[in-house]
A and B are shown apart, each in its own frame.
Chain A
C-alpha cells in the first residue's frame, strides 16, 4: 500500500461493527477522520500529542490514542468508539455506572476514558483500586477529581463478578 501525499485514499474499516469507508490523505489523523469524515463525533480531541487521552478509541480491541494514528493505518482494521457502547438504544453497565457515580461533568474526556475502561474490564476481571487508578492515569480529566470514575469502574467490575458467580 503506497499513498502519495497528494492522493486521497479510500480507507475501509469496520467501525463499531459496520463496514465503513471514506477518503483520507496520508496525513489525516485518525481522530479527524473518525469525527469529520465518518461523523463519529463522540470521540474528542484534547491535545494531539498523546497525553490527555480524550481521543482514545479501540483499534483491533486495544485502547489507542487516535491522535497518534493516521486514518490510513486503520485500513482493514476494526475500530470501536464510544458510539459502540450502547446496545439497542440502551446504555451499557459501564455507562450507567458513570451516571450513577457522577463520573463525568463536562463529558469531554469521557469518551476516551470509557474506551480504556472497556478494554481494561474485559481483561482484568477483579481489579484493585490501584490497578484502576493506574489504568486511568493515561487520561486527564479536569472536572471530576477522578473519584467518581474510579468508583464507577470498581462498581462495574464487582457487578460483573457477581453476575458471573450467579450464572450457572
Chain B
C-alpha cells in the first residue's frame, strides 16, 4: 500500500500555494494534515501529479474571533482548535464535537479546514459547520475571496462547491448566540469511528436548527419551529434523508436514531452515553 509518485511542493505563503494550485488545477491536491488524503494516496485511490503541502504556511495557522465568527485558518489543526481556551464559550458546539473526531493522534495533525474540504458525510466538522450556518472562505489568484455557507458548500458525497483552482483558506463558525443552547450526540460503531448517525442542534428561542450527519450524502440541516409537533417533524426529517443499509447499520435503525436521539437531544433528555465516560476535557 504505497502511493503513486507525485511532485511535492511546500510553499510558505498562501500566495505561493494558490499560484501553484492555479497552475496545476485538477492535477494538484492540497495536503494540510493529510489524515484523510494520505490514506487515500496510500491505497492509490487518488493519484495527483503534485501535492501542495500548506502545513508550513504560517499565515494560515490562526484562530481568530472576528465579525461574529470564530475564524480558523487552513493550516490550523483540530488539536490546536481543541486547545483554544475560549472555545467552549465562543463555539460550544465545536467544543463538544471535537473530541469525537478520530483520535488525539489524528487530531494532532488533522486540520479543521481539511476535514471540511474532504466533506465526508459522516464527519463531525462538516456537520458542525452546516448546523451553525458557518462559512467557508475560498481564495484564488484574483478577485475577492469567495464566501460560501455550509449549506451550499456541501454538495454530495466528498463533493463541495470548491473549484479546482480555489484554496480553502479559512472556515468561520458563528459565535454562540445568547439564549441558545448547543447539543451534540453521535452513535458510532467504536470510539472514534465515523458516525452512523450524528446529530447537532442549535436550540434557539423560537426554533431548533438540527443537523444530521452520517445518513444522507452530506450533512443535512433543518430548521424546526419550537411550536410544531416535534415527533412529526423528526419523522419527516428521518424519512427525507434517503437512509440506506450498509454493513454496519440498517436504514430503519438510522431513521430510528434520527427520531429518538433527535427528540432526546432537543428536549434535553440528554443521553451522554459516551461523552460523560470517556471523553476527556483536555
Contacts and interface: CB of A to CB of B under 8 A. Distances in A.
A70 to B, nearest CB: 7
A86 interface: no
Nearest to A72: B8
Interface string B19-59: 00000000000000011001101110000010101010000
B106 A67 contact: no
A68 interface: yes
Given A1-B9, A27-B4, A29-B42, A138 B192 contact: yes
Main secondary structure of the interface of B (DSSP, over half): loop
A134 interface: yes
B6 interface: yes
Contact of A138 (B5, B9, B79, B105): B105
Given A64-B109, A123-B282, A50 B104 contact: no
B35 A68 contact: yes
Contact of B103 (A5, A69, A73, A137): A137
Interface in B79-95: 79
A159 to B, nearest CB: 20
B278 A2 contact: no
A136 to B, nearest CB: 9
A88 B278 CA distance: 37
Nearest to B39: A49
B10 A68 contact: no
B204 interface: no
Contacts of A49: 1, 39, 42-43
B232 interface: no
B280 interface: yes
B60 to A, nearest CB: 16
Interface size class of chain B, counting residues whose CB lies under 8 Å from the partner chain: 35 or more
B160 interface: no
Interface residues of A, number: 42
Nearest to A2: B9
Contact of B280 (A1, A26, A124): A124
Nearest to B34: A68
Contacts of B53: 73
B212 to A, nearest CB: 25
Given A62-B79, A69-B34, A138-B103, A25 B5 contact: yes
Contacts of A59: 109
A3 B1 contact: no
Given A68-B109, A138-B105, A1 B6 contact: no
B226 to A, nearest CB: 35
Contacts of B102: 138
A36 interface: no
B280 A62 contact: no
| 6 tightest Cβ-Cβ pairs between the two chains A and B | A138-B103, A26-B8, A49-B39, A68-B38, A5-B5, A131-B280
10 contacts: A5-B6, A5-B7, A62-B108, A62-B109, A70-B51, A130-B278, A133-B278, A134-B191, A134-B278, A138-B104
Interface of B: 1-10, 34-35, 38-39, 41-43, 49, 51, 53, 55, 79, 99, 102-106, 108-109, 190-192, 277-280, 282
